[in-house]
């Protein structure tokens, strides 16, 4: 896989999309996604924008930019978070607050 294809496959997997689900989200075929991931095909600018939007990442990240200061597993969590709908993001933030409270209670003992 070329760099773009490898990044696309990694981000797609982190977000929890199959190739078919991503294809449906961006209005293309599963084989087109497969070709992008294998390096047989390069995305148009419009396709790059649609992929980024569907995956909840920036076009810069798809093209090789990094999220600075994050370990690989944190990057995966970040991409998963970005792919969630707003309601699910709020639920996740509430759960994180709950966990932090529980941790503080344990450390106060």
CATH number of the domain that 40 lies in?
1.10.260.40
**Domain count across the chain:** 1
Q: Which domain holds residue 53?
A: 3-84
Confirm whether pTM is higher than 0.95.
Answer: no
* 109 falls within a domain: no
Query: Mean pLDDT for the chain?
Result: 86
* 98 falls within a domain: no
Cβ atoms of 52 and 43 within 8 Å: the answer is: no
What was the pLDDT predicted at 49? 95
What was the pLDDT predicted at 1? 39
End-to-end CA distance of the chain: 52
* 11 falls within a domain: yes
pLDDT digits (tens, 9 = 90+) for 59-93: 988 888 876 667 788 878 887 887 888 899 889 88
Query: Interior CA angle at 78 toward 8 and 20, to 5°?
Result: 35
Cβ atoms of 19 and 62 within 8 Å: the answer is: no
* 97 falls within a domain: no
User: Rounded to the nearest 5°, which phi and psi values hold at 45?
Assistant: -60, -45
* 35 falls within a domain: yes
* 89 falls within a domain: no
What was the pLDDT predicted at 67? 66
Dist CA 88 CA 39 (whole Å): 33
* 93 falls within a domain: no
């Amino acid at each position: 896989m070329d760099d773009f294809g490898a990044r696309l496959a990694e981000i797609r997997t982190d977000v929890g999309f199959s190739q078919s689900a991503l294809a449906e989200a961006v209005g293309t075929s599963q084989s087109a996604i497969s070709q992008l991931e294998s390096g047989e095909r390069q995305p148009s600018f419009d396709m790059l924008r649609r992929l980024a939007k569907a995956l909840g990442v920036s076009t810069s990240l798809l093209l090789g930019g990094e999220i600075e200061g994050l370990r690989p597993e944190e990057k995966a969590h970040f991409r998963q978070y970005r792919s969630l709908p707003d309601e699910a993001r709020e639920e996740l933030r509430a759960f994180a607050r709950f966990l932090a409270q529980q941790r503080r209670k344990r450390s106060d003992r």
